[in-house]
Amino acid sequence: MSKQFDKSKIEKGVKEILEAVGADLKRKDIATTPKRVAQMYEEILDGQFRKADDELEVILEQTHDEIILLKGIPLYSLCEHHLLPFVGKAHVAYIPDKRITGLSKIARVVDVLSKRLQVQERLATEIADVVMKKLKPKGVMVVIEAEHLCMSMRGVKKPGTLTTTSVVRGVFRTNQKTRQEALSLISS
Ligand SMILES: [Zn+2]
């Protein structure tokens, strides 16, 4: 993998796609499409070359040992199978062990990891991994609900269908009561 975003290569590729589908590249609006698409990809795949770890600032805090939940973090990602968006929400719960982070930092992690070519299951796993690695909490739970346009626009064509995935680590895995508590906080 090259370390830099190659916009000119995307431009070339988009031009070929446009030619292949019979678009008129001489038309003013379409002539500038390859450039626009390359710019757009650079923005929506901004996480490809960034480390999500860097976003999670650690704050030492001795006393808090209850569930901290970030609910409904908006998420826009691109499925690696079809290059179509999946859009939804992430919920991230953790129980700290002397380390917490600013509320916006977890949303930043979700953002960086979403702005990559992804599959929903891996996205949830990667979010959980970063939280585990940086905060070393007693446990973490990540739930993602998303609509995949590759399912809504094509294939089985079921618009509005939400796919839910969850990843649990630590105490959320071993203790059913704790997991249940987090789930009811998420759904309330
Ligand atoms: Zn897909």
List the domain boundaries for the chain.
7-44, 54-187
Topology match between the domains 7-44 and 54-187: no
Check pLDDT > 60 for residue 1. no
81: CA distance to ligand 1 center in Å?
5
User: Is 147 one of the catalytic residues?
Assistant: no
Check pLDDT > 90 for residue 3. no
Q: Of residues 42, 48, 147, 150, which has the active-site annotation? A: 150
* CATH architecture designation of domain 7-44: Orthogonal Bundle (1.10)
Check pLDDT > 80 for residue 170. yes
80: CA distance to ligand 1 center in Å?
6
The pLDDT-based confidence of 90 (bands split at 50, 70, 90) is very high
3: CA distance to ligand 1 center in Å?
25
Question: How would you write the chain as a 3-class SS string?
Answer: CCCCCCHHHHHHHHHHHHHHCCCCCCCHHHHCHHHHHHHHHHHHCCCCCCCHHHHCCCEECCCCCCCEEEEEEEEEEEECCCCCEEEEEEEEEEECCCEECCHHHHHHHHHHHHCCEECHHHHHHHHHHHHHHHHCCCEEEEEEEEEEHHHHCCCCCCCCCCEEEEEEEEHHHHCHHHHHHHHHHHHC
84: CA distance to ligand 1 center in Å?
6
Check pLDDT > 90 for residue 106. yes
**Annotation: CATH topology of 54-187:** GTP Cyclohydrolase I, domain 2 (3.30.1130)
For residue 173, count CB atoms less than 10 angstroms from its CB and return exposed for 0-12, middle for 13-18, buried for 19 or more: middle
Integer angstrom CA distances of residue 31 from 4, 24, 27, 35, 154? 25, 8, 6, 9, 27
- Ranking 3-17, 100-114, 154-168, 172-186 by mean pLDDT, the lowest is 154-168
163: CA distance to ligand 1 center in Å?
12
Check pLDDT > 60 for residue 32. yes
User: Is 120 one of the catalytic residues?
Assistant: yes
| Environment of ion ligand 1 (residues, CB < 5 A) | 79, 81-82, 150
Whole-number pLDDT of residue 89 = 98
Whole-number pLDDT of residue 144 = 98
Residue-averaged pLDDT of the chain: 94
Whole-number pLDDT of residue 105 = 96
Whole-number pLDDT of residue 61 = 85
Q: Of residues 19, 57, 80, 121, which has the active-site annotation? A: 80
User: Is 91 one of the catalytic residues?
Assistant: no
